[in-house]
A and B are shown apart, each in its own frame.
Chain A
Amino acid sequence: MSNATKTSIHRDVLGASALRPDGAAKVSGKFEFSSDLHAEHMLWGATLRSPHPFARIISIDLSAAYKIDGVEAIITAQDVPGKKTYGLISSDQPVFASEIVRYVGEPVAAVAADHPETCRRALAAIKVNYEVLTPITDAELAMLPSTTQIHPDGNLFRHQRIITGDQNLQGEIIVEATYEMGMQDQAFLGLEAALAIPDSGGAGVEMFVATQWLHEDQKQIAACLDLPLEKIRITLGGVGGAFGAREDISLQVHCALLALRTSRPIKMQYGREESFYGHVHRHPAKIWIRHHATRTGVIQRIESRMVFDGGAYASTSAAVLINGVTHIQGPYKCLNATVDGYAVRTNNPPCGAMRGFGVVQACYAHESQMDKLAVACGLSPVEIRLINAMVTGDKLITGQVVESVAPVERCIRETDAIEMPAPLARNANALEIVGGSGLTSLPHNIVRGVGWGVSIKNLMYSESFDDFATARCQLQNGVVNLKFATVEVGQGFVVLAPQIARSVLGVDEVIIDPVDTRIGSAGSTSASRQTWMSGGAVDGACRLVRQRLFEHVGTKHNIDPLRLVIEDTDVVDMLGDFRISVIEASTGVFIDETFEHHHRPTEELDENGQGNCHVAFAFVAHRAVVDVDVELGLVKVIQIATAQDVGRVLNPIAALGQIEGGIAQGLGLAVMEEIVLDNGKMRNPSFTDYLLPTALDAPQVIAVMIEEPEPQAPLGAKGIGEPPCISVTPAIAAAIRNATGRDLPRVPIRPQDICL
């Protein structure tokens, strides 16, 4: 059941468009996703969820469900042997609700049965008697002291201020507005799935899970099961995308509990509707922001009040909030700030990690403001951004100095230099026209608009969290085995890791061992961190192995090991004629080294939001060109031009794929993607009603990668996963404003926002 992969390609070193080692399996349908896993005598598991956003559980009657043929077990809160709750930062979410349900979709019970349909019938036969309470679904209301506390931990996940500089400064130019963002879903295609196989005697469990962070899952599952860590062994099940939604526990604990209860393997997998209920989403946010600037457009002070709706449970809300408040200045110089941020508990679905992690909300607000400021100062969108562009060495509103390479001006100028698309042709095919094949748009109603967005994004985890990564490298007979717990969600670490080994060790054949908890943690595949962190760990382990190989060759051939280098696939004496292939040099030896990569320490913010809380930053600019049918309110994104600060390109084709993919997700947030909530209930938990960009929505993307190697980064490369999806959303919104003249203070922008 392992997804162990083997590569042997001609010198696919760092910088080459090396091909994915899992590519052939994925194109032929042979790659095992977690939903494809099977075990002998396995049962299916399923979850009963609350239909109410806020209710008291009066009673649960399982008797009718137990009478159904094929039902093997039903478990509720009382069957959780260990900790009754879990959570990434604060453990406030019940494995199963016992007294109160706090959101629609909260797990109440789980069943194991012989067929998915038996499970469905059993769930329908469980009788839960609820006393329905009035849900609190407005974050502002939830914050009031007089409002019912939804949870014993209270309704405020976190409040953070940033106070710096002159608190009374008034600019010659002042622009302000309130911006809102709806709830976005990660909508990965590979639904949540896991297989749990119990050890005989119930002493432990072997799990195969599609997750983002094996060791964090292990820790949380073990606590809930009251078992030692080593009794929960997790192997990565094939992951069909993640985008943040697999960082929290979903079905892991339920699946393990059912396996131990029945002493049989349990497979659980969500359907699409259940997936919408079963994972966290991007936080809806409301951001008031006021900019003070000189008449020439120089930003002097920012005031902001940011409210993030975290939904019913904490997840990563506290960290998302910090990203929001610390990025509200955008990639611009600013010395004075007064910022208040609140992450709030409501009876809405829980929110947590999604690509961009709090910066998406902040960016939409600050970029919308930049355009307002440009108008107020009589400048163009490009001019206002260039005037204020941050550089390396600038001090952020948190007091942290930007030590990262910060090519903000270059990002803007190189984006600006990209050729604009041709005007819409008179004889354009219907599919090229906004509205598409329905032939709904009349040419005289179509207006073209252009808009800008620029962003700054922190890389890795912040606020004193040591999110290290571990990797092991073994060399024998010219073949390298790499082992790590780094989760491949599609981003391409499985292609990058062998590239690193080939570059450092001069080998061609690199085998990736199964990704599991039998090695130290690699941290989460999130926060644009794995190339830097796990890449750094693989690089470090390979360098240790290389040093030992040089010592071995040096001893054998009587050469000072310090004179040896790797050249292509050979070990070479820099000062002499000695040359031997790595294959020959490593024949008959076995070198085994493990390395942990840690980034530099960071600090927590103080009560005024001051502190070196982030590790590093990446920057990107986006320019959007849209066609808008101003009568019908329809939008077609024609082109996205972008220049991204990537540090160093390690795999051009993989980097481009990240950029294009991120842009599509940012486009979705701009014009179509939103979980519609009605008093705490999701109105559109399906792919029929939650709209995602299709091939026909994909704009032309022209991307420039700005390579200024980052000195702090082990490979010189910055994380590239999140930046593409951040400033593209405000760029598209700005382009629609440009076409329509409307304010559009909320995304996604719906047809009625444009034409009514």
Chain B
Amino acid sequence: MSANSEVYDLNVNGQKRQVRDAWVGESLLYVLRERLGLPGSKGACEQGECGSCTVIMDGQAVCSCLVMAATAIDSKITTVEGLTQDDSLTAVQDAFITEGGVQCGFCTPGLIVAIEHLLDNNPDPSQLEVKEAISGNICRCTGYGRIFEAVNTAVTTRRATNL
């Protein structure tokens, strides 16, 4: 694809990352996964319907499959890999494990990012606010029950930690 290749920088997880040999039409999801070595964001529908590829872009939760990577050069992007700086887990991640919110795990990174984004903006959401916030993230395994429990647990943990 050398004839169309481009070089540009993206700001991902607090780091400047150079994208080389890219075809200009590549989605942010493709560039994160295939060019920047960040496969945590998942592709499952390519249409912004399932939320598996959710990342935070300039403070908004977006489907990275719908963002053309080259248009994100001025944006601050956080992926699931950027939620913690080391091997530690956030309260949301931990609660997903302890409450059984993970089965196959394919939807999980996108859901975690969406819920982190929700709780950062609304630390004590109602049950309906939780449902609405993650209604763009499809989970085929759990039926969502354990995920709701995980959010409840994470809210409590975060509240206790912030006191």
Contacts and interface: CB of A to CB of B under 8 A. Distances in A.
A240 B23 contact: no
Interface in A482-501: 489-492
B99 A20 contact: no
Contacts of A694: 135-138
8 contacts: A30-B40, A70-B1, A189-B42, A191-B44, A240-B105, A660-B142, A688-B47, A694-B138
Contacts of A28: 40, 80-81, 83-84, 87, 89, 93, 109
B102 to A, nearest CB: 5
Contacts of A693: 143
Interface of A: 17, 19-20, 22-33, 35-36, 70, 114-115, 117-118, 187-191, 238-241, 243, 271-272, 429, 431-432, 437, 489-492, 653-654, 656-657, 660-665, 686-688, 692-696, 698, 701
Instruction: Give the top 9 A-B pairs by smallest Cβ distance, nearest first.
Output: A29-B40, A490-B104, A240-B106, A26-B105, A664-B143, A660-B143, A23-B97, A490-B103, A687-B49
B122 interface: no
A379 to B, nearest CB: 32
A693 B1 CA distance: 39
Contacts of A663: 143
B147 interface: yes
A82 to B, nearest CB: 33
Contact of A29 (B41, B128, B137, B139): B41
Contacts of B89: 24, 27-28
A468 to B, nearest CB: 25
Given A19-B98, A27-B96, A29-B79, A189 B146 contact: no
Interface residues of B, number: 59
Interface in B130-148: 130-132, 134-148
Nearest to B133: A695
Given A27-B93, A117-B25, A696-B132, A189 B103 contact: no
Contacts of B56: none
Contacts of B99: 653
B108 A27 contact: yes
A434 B63 CA distance: 27
B128 A662 contact: no
B84 to A, nearest CB: 8
Given A29-B80, A272-B47, A663-B143, A241 B41 contact: no
Nearest to A240: B106
A649 to B, nearest CB: 13
Given A240-B104, A696-B132, 16 more contacts: A28-B83, A36-B39, A117-B23, A188-B104, A189-B106, A190-B44, A191-B44, A240-B44, A272-B46, A431-B131, A653-B146, A656-B146, A661-B103, A664-B143, A695-B132, A695-B135
B137 to A, nearest CB: 7
A626 to B, nearest CB: 16
B138 A687 contact: yes
B7 interface: no
A698 B140 contact: no
Contacts of A490: 103-105, 141
B143 A662 contact: yes
B10 interface: no
Interface in B73-104: 79-81, 83-84, 87, 89, 93-94, 96-100, 102-104
Nearest to A32: B39
Contact of B46 (A25, A27, A271, A654): A271
A241 B108 contact: no
Nearest to B109: A29
B68 to A, nearest CB: 14
Contacts of B87: 28
A308 to B, nearest CB: 24
Contacts of B41: 29
Nearest to A432: B128
Contacts of B100: 17, 653-654, 656-657
A491 B103 contact: yes
Contacts of B49: 686-688
A188 B138 CA distance: 10
A657 B141 contact: yes
Nearest to A430: B128
B52 interface: yes
A687 B142 contact: no
Interface string B43-70: 1111101101000000000000000000
- The residue among B45, B98, B140, B148 with the most chain A CB atoms within 10 A of its own CB is B140
A656 B43 contact: no
A696 B143 CA distance: 11
A20 B143 contact: no
A381 to B, nearest CB: 24
Contacts of A492: 103
Contacts of B97: 19-20, 23-24, 27
B140 A187 contact: yes
A545 to B, nearest CB: 29
B106 A33 contact: yes
Nearest to A26: B105
B87 to A, nearest CB: 8
B31 interface: no
A35 B33 CA distance: 10
Contacts of A26: 102, 105, 108-109
A729 to B, nearest CB: 14
B107 interface: yes
Nearest to A275: B44
A532 to B, nearest CB: 19
A657 B38 CA distance: 29
B112 interface: yes
Nearest to A186: B140
